[in-house]
Structure 1
């Protein structure tokens, strides 16, 4: 885990404190499918306290924090103060304001709307031991951007990333009865982080996904992957923690199928020929099978779909048949006037149903970071194909090996969390990154990480293109490394092209590979209309005409195999500050923040119905 340069000395000094966990073994674990296991939820009421000068981490001379500022101390401040009136505390977590998690701190109070930095969270919970021969993990769905986790005053571990889950083995730190958990959630990022500070979306700092205590047998399944291979076999790979497991197996009762696994030092693996009666998952028939993964007395009950995805020439083949991806991009932000990135099943269903039923879509690009497993599981249920992306975005420090290692860790966590999801067909390694030799080497290393983790899906990245006159050429050096090319194009919005000229624009590629228009779009403030012969940008009329003309251009691209315009709904973005039309929102959504459909929504829906019905 890489630490910010300004805190390295503090980390060394804090390691000398009696409460530090530096001498303990690495407690981190993957726990794939953790949300399927019996758990004690730690969601709900938490106390919170801002720490803009980070004095819960370091004193003002740079040394370890003293007792008066350690937010994570295992004390009840009021009780200590009653016993010793001379005791000095410059915090009191038990009397700090209360919020309900998960959800970003931008919803805690109005003054938190644009806060960037460190916030401390704390709550108590009661724990009853699960008995001998079991391990207990503390698991977070996501904390943005960095999390330092303390249990009963001891540092459990840290995680960097903001969008992927992490778990710590806390078996020997828990105590019967009352326990105290404290989390330092730090949204501040440097130019060496992934992504760096400058983006076009809301940071949403804080604890944004579920928190739980999960009890498992001493010998338990840490990671598993069950899939249909391109040669027609159902394959399974599992990793077991806590010692050897007798006769690990995977059962699919509805198919009458059992896969017996053989184990070596790395993993347990096995495969069988897929039964002829297997129903393949697709957007039209999103069949999910109950799957039991068993090892050493530990059993996980999953629901998995089986399908294949591959490329042949300029075609994308789903289950061996060409498919056109009728999609749209989406940020992880629930409908509503004040979203806090609390993605519940109902919130995910509302958004994805707009795509499937409203837009006649079969595809969603989950941009620009890994979205909640709530969303990817809902895509499995509803039958939407998914592009999943890691947050390698814009101005990454391509020359820093530590930055690459961070990106690779994020990619690995994303894949291991979600590679059992049939809906996911594309792993994206980057968005709109400027070409350089350092960037090319960085992204090729990241592509290698993807292929080492998952050889059943396609790899892509949202690229930029070269335009000369009316001709755009896909000349990115990464084209040869990707399975599917993807281009973000905004002709007519970020260019001076008259909208009527867009259909005459030409696209060329020498790669012989399929291409997706991964982004195109225009801002429109819902309810603002300007139907003059030349409608004003930011009007619904301009956005609708932009879509008509851009879609006419897309019809003329012979190797285009999908689209994910930008974007399903307006989303928060502090960089967008036009006082009339934006007010801190990117308005390229086809829906308003509360779900009101703009004119362009129907334009795209009609085009997707035409494409669907013509195939």
Structure 2
């Protein structure tokens, strides 16, 4: 049974009439049913694993990637995946490749910034590495890949193990049957080619870093193991500060009905035994003896211990209540104002895809110095280290899947991909207290097909996780005189509305913002993108393009405009740090970077950084209610 057919058969998505038209459902179901039922392990970063990070041999498969694809577009299992070695001394010469003598790339890492000849390469690269392994009886072993951009095809010891589409979410491939005692090898073909029907599609405004960009490991588990769990503060009808009710579930693969599962949170006085149902799911609804709720001021985390049979797993989880009340965002019953920034997964200083502890430490150093309490992780799920650090540091997060502008919204198979990516994102991070918003898209065109697609997707997100508000970043409208009326019908499907606007940069003059009157939905509004480009170190007058002073001037007038919008509940300037984008081609000013950062790519703070630092410290723009 496929993942989606299983969900539909079980009725877990509720009444489809409520959330999806019968016409769309009839068209989408075949595409959804093609999605395979896959294991997706939660909490891998809290398990004991065998790391496969390090040096991997690589070979470039130049377009049209004949080693990976047949002329008909089928994936080959009989070429580089076999990892054979040519006999250079005698006999016929049939092997036109050799991983053993090939150069290496660091994994995790993008290939673009590791080899100058691959800097702008988009296509297929083959990775290979040997590893020693000793299989243990009564266990199952999975190859865990934190992310690989964009399509991945995996072989172990010449056996095709799995495929995956999507560049920013993890996946797990069972390798139990393919492993043998002693030396083994894995071959992974990664294709970063942009596709019209991909997510994202072909027209993206960030660098298309390819490769095995996040951690890779082998995870060995008992035959009966915990693959998924959800432990959260019960979302009661009305928030009460005395609420200590916890709810959720633990899912155990291979468990029969009635299998015991223990749940312990020692510091909260929780020690209980659950029982699985016929599907291996053990739901619970229990009361903790005490709870200190997570917030930016007190980011309290609890050690949560799960066990079933021979499998044990420990996680660090914070408990808090996030909800919308009218035009307010409430955290633990108190109105909050989000002071943050957008952030691409660009590594500070070295550039390239961010993936390491050092990258995350640098990013959060910038956020803390900015006096931020919030970050929008644009425009795709980032490395899990970001959420883990945000949990510890008390930074709230907006997380989204990469439905950005040029998406084939009319195609059911694209909806199926989006639903699967949404599931992967929410499943990985639902236990992160720092994640307060799920976003389904950014800057999408206003038309009925798109609106139906994203409304359905927003409702899927609510079914997967009913405890968090759903958002999206809207673009437009264009000004009519000094009037801005946001009437995008997608806002009706959202709990919190993100509004992107660039008055003073792409539209009008900075001072025009002073007199603009906005008509926006009566919901919490986040100004989810606004700003102007400035090259760090370029100085001049307040109206001189590319000067740091002009960037400051744009923001000064933006603050005047934003302060007049009563339902604004957050500032999210674009962007924390300059990031690579191949569409930014003004030499000596952009040089392939989007320069709207408050900080340059090499960590130098612009004048606008100090400007926001003071605004956030003084809480001088915007209010919580």
1:202 partner SS: coil
CA-CA distance at 1:444 after TM superposition: 1.2
Q: Deviations over 1:503-524 (max 9, x none)?
A: 2222112x32110000001111
Instruction: Indicate whether 1:540 and 2:551 are aligned.
Output: no
CA contact (8 A) 2:113 2:352 kept: yes
SS of equivalent residue, structure 1 residue 105: coil
Contact 1:27 1:169 in 2 (8 A): no
CA distance in 1, matches of 2:72, 2:143: 33
Distance in 2 separating the partners of 1:34 and 1:58: 32
Match of 1:17 in 2: none
Structure 1 SS opposite 2:538: coil
Match of 1:41 in 2: 51
Distance 1:36 1:455, change over 3 A: same
Q: Which residue, 413, 419, 430 being the options, matches 2:424?
A: 413
Match of 1:561 in 2: 569
Match of 1:32 among 22, 38, 42: 42
State the match for 1:270 in structure 2.
284
Mapped pair 1:362 → 2:373: yes
Are the aligned partners of 2:504 and 2:511 in contact in 1 as well (CA < 8 Å)?
no
What's the offset of the Cα at 1:432?
Answer: 0.3
> TM-score, normalising length from structure 2?
0.90
Contact 1:103 1:209 in 2 (8 A): yes
TM-score by length of structure 1 reads 0.91
State whether residues 27 and 170 of structure 1, in contact with CA within 8 Å, keep that contact through their aligned partners in structure 2.
no
Contact 1:27/1:168 (<8 A) preserved:
no
Cα pair 1:236 1:250 within 8 Å, conserved: no
SS in 2 for 1:472: strand
Secondary structure of the corresponding residue to residue 402 of structure 1: helix
Contact 1:259 1:270 in 2 (8 A): no
**Following the alignment from structure 1 to structure 2, what is the Cα–Cα distance between the partners of residues 583 and 62?**
36
- 1:161 aligns with 166
Residues 83-135 of structure 1 deviation map (CA, whole Å, 9 limit, x = unaligned):
x4313221111111112111000023111111011110001111112x21111
Given candidates 578, 586, 591, the residue that maps to 2:594 is: 586
Give the distance between the partners of 1:310 and 1:359, measured in 2 at CA: 26
**Aligned with 1:574 (options 572, 582, 585):** 582
Give the corresponding residue for 1:91.
97
**Equivalence map 1:430-509=2 (5 Å):** 430-466=441-477, 467-497=479-509, 499-509=510-520
Deviates more, 1:243-252 or 1:389-398: 243-252
Larger mean Cα displacement after TM superposition, 99-108 or 161-170: 99-108
List aligned pairs for 1:168-317, cutoff 5 A. 168-231=173-236, 232=243, 233-244=245-256, 246-266=259-279, 267-275=281-289, 277-317=290-330
- Secondary structure of the residue aligned to 2:177 is coil
- With over 3 angstroms needed to count, the CA separation of the structure-2 counterparts of 1:324 and 1:27, relative to structure 1, is closer
Question: Partners in 2 of 1:459 and 1:526 — Cα distance?
Answer: 35
User: In the alignment, does 2:625 pair up with 1:606?
Assistant: no
Aligned pairs (5 A) from 1:500-539? 500-509=511-520, 511-531=521-541, 534-539=542-547
Question: Quick one: structure 1 residues 51 and 475, their matched pair in 2 at CA, closer, same or farther if it must change by over 3 Å?
Answer: same
| Range with greater deviation from structure 2 (238-247 or 320-329) | 238-247
Residue 115 of structure 1, aligned match among 111, 121, 128: 121
1:230, distance to aligned residue in structure 2 (A): 2.1
1:66 Cα deviation after fit: 9.1
Distance 2:575 2:70 in 1: 45
Question: Could you tell me how far 1:185 is from its partner in structure 2?
Answer: 0.3
CA contact (8 A) 2:260 2:276 kept: no
In structure 2, relative to structure 1, the CA distance for the partners of 1:179 and 1:342 (3 Å cut) is: farther
CA distance in structure 2 between the aligned counterparts of 1:549 and 1:259, rounded to whole angstroms: 56
Distance 1:422 1:62 in 2: 43
What secondary structure does 1:512 align onto? Answer: coil
Q: Which residue of 2 aligns with 1:145?
A: 150
Report the CA distance shift for 1:109/1:387 in structure 2 as closer, same or farther (over 3 A): same
- The separation in 2 between residues aligned to 1:33 and 1:415, in whole angstroms, is 13
Q: RMSD of the TM alignment (CA)?
A: 1.9
Question: Which residue of structure 2 lines up, in the alignment, with residue 22 of structure 1?
Answer: none
1:316·1:514 contact (CA, 8 Å) conserved in 2? yes
Alignment check: 8 A CA contact 1:161 1:410 kept: yes
- For the residues of structure 2 that align with 1:149 and 1:328, how far apart are their CA atoms? 37
- Count of matched residue pairs: 579
> For structure 1, which segment, 596-605 or 87-96, has the greater mean C-alpha deviation from structure 2 after superposition?
87-96
Where do residues 3-42 of structure 1 align in structure 2 (5 Å cutoff)?
28-42=38-52
Deviations 1:140-161 (A, max 9, x none): 0000000000101111010000
State the Cα distance separating 1:264 from its structure 2 match.
2.1
Structure 1 segment 49-60 matched on structure 2, within 5 A: 49-52=59-62, 53-59=64-70
4+ runs deviating over 4 angstroms: 59-67, 612-615
Partners in 2 of 1:153 and 1:443 — Cα distance? 40
Cα distance in structure 2, aligned partners of 1:612 and 1:572:
32
